[in-house]
Amino acid sequence: MRCTVFGTGYLGATHAACMAELGHDVVGVDVDPGKVAKLADGVVPFYEPGLDEVLQRNLAAGRLRFTTDYEDAAAHADVHFLGVGTPQKKGEYGADLKYVHAVVDTLVPMLERPAMIVGKSTVPVGTAAALGIRARALTDIDVEVAWNPEFLREGFAVQDTLRPDRLVLGLDRTRERADWVEQHIRDIYADLIDAEIPFLLTDLATAELVKVSANAFLATKISFINAVSEVCEATGADVTMLADALGYDARIGRRFLNAGLGFGGGCLPKDIRAFMARSGELGADHAVAFLREVDNINMRRRTKVVDMAARACGGSLLGANVAVLGAAFKPESDDVRDSPALNVAGMIQLHGAVVTVYDPKAVENSRRVFPTLNYATSVAEACDRADVVLVLTEWNEFTDLTPADLEPVVRSRSIIDGRNCLDRHAWRDAGWVYAGLGTP
C-alpha cells in the first residue's frame, strides 16, 4: 500500500522506514530540507540502533523516499500518518500542538480525494476529534481522522515498530467511513496482525489516552522506587536488594524498579505534565494530582546527586574537577532532551566546578545545549585529574569499567554511581570511595 509519514524525527523517520520494510510504498515528509536531504542520502540524523540499515535498504529498493513537497505527498496516498513533535509549551505544562495543526492546515486543502490522517504523535485527549472538525472545515472532500499511538523506546525503536507488543487504533464510529479506515490500517499492518500481535480497536479518546497513561504509569513506578530509595538512605537499607525482592511479586514485576537518577528524555517528563494540564482543563485535575509528586521526586534525584558530588569534594564544588560519564538520558541513544545526566552536569558547573563530560553518542547534541561544559573524546580524557567521577548514563562502556581503568588518571579515587549500575563491592575493595543512590 501507499502511505505518507509527516515528520521525520525519532518517531516519523522510524515509522517511515519500517513501513517500507513491511513492503509499503512510503513518502516521508518534513519542512526541514536539511533533514530530508540527509534521510534521502541514507543518513539518519540521530542515533538509533539498526535504523540506518533499514533506511538504506528501503531507499535502495525504491520503497522509500523523502520530500518537503506537501502536494507530492497529498497525491501519493490516501493514508497519511502524523508523526510530528508535541513538545511542552514554554512556561506551561500543556502540549504545544502547533506542528500537528500545521500539517493538517497545509495538507488538507491539497487533497483531491477522500483520505485519512492517522495520528501517531502523543497528544492531549480530545485532540483527534478536534482535528477531524478542523480538517473537514478546510475542504469539501471526506477526511477521516484516526489515532494509532506509538509505543517506541529509544534504542529499540525499530524492534518496537516491526514487532510491537500491541497495536491500538482509535476510530470515530459516528463516521460512515470508519470501516474504510479500519480496513486500510488492517491492510497496512497485515503482517503484524498475521503474527498474532494484539490489535485493539477503540474510540478516539481511549487511543489518545493509552500512550500517555502508559508513560504516566512508568514514571510513577520509577519515582516510587526513587522515593523508597530516600527512605533507604535514611535507614541504611539497600534499595537494590529491596527492588529485587519486590520484583518477585508477579503483581509488581522487576522492570522499571531501578533506583537512580530518574527519568528524562523527550517523552515521559513532557507527557506526564501534559496529562496533568489536560486533566485540569477537563476538571479532573484531582485524579492525577499524584503525578505532581512523581515529577517532584524525579527532579529531586538530580539535586541529590549534586549534593553528593559536593560532599565527595570536601563540601564545596568550587574549583573541583568533576568527570561526568554520560550525557544522553538513556543508553543506546543520543537524545539529551530533559536529560538528568546533562542537567546534573550543568548544575555542578554552576556551583563552580570544572566539569568534563563524555558520552559515546551524545557529545555533539550536548554541546549544543550546554556549550560551556568541557567535552572529552574518551573516558580517560574525561577523568583526567578528576576529584570525583559521576556515572550518570548506564552505557555498557561505563558499567564495564574497573577501578584499574581509572586509577592511573584520576586525582581522587571517588566515584558516584548515579544509576546503581556498578559493582560497589569491587570498587570499595580497590580502595575507592563509592556512593550510590539508596544503597549503603
The residues annotated with a catalytic role in the active site are: 267
Of 250, 256, 251, 185, nearest in space to 214 by CA: 256
Q: Which residues, at least 6 apart from 131, have a Cβ–Cβ distance to it below 8 Å?
A: 100, 104, 117, 119, 145
Burial class of 397 by CB neighbour count within 10 A (0 to 12, 13 to 18, 19+): middle
Please state, in angstroms and rounded to a whole number, the distance separating the CA atoms of residues 171 and 179.
9
Please state, in angstroms and rounded to a whole number, the distance separating the CA atoms of residues 357 and 323.
6
List C-alpha distances in Å: 280 to 135, 208, 285, 295, 435. 26, 16, 4, 16, 40
H runs (alpha helix) in 189-203: 190-194
Other beta carbons within 10 angstroms of residue 62's beta carbon come to 9
Task: Enter the C-alpha cell of residue 51.
Answer: 535504523
Rg value, the chain, Cα:
24
Please state, in angstroms and rounded to a whole number, the distance separating the CA atoms of residues 35 and 10.
12
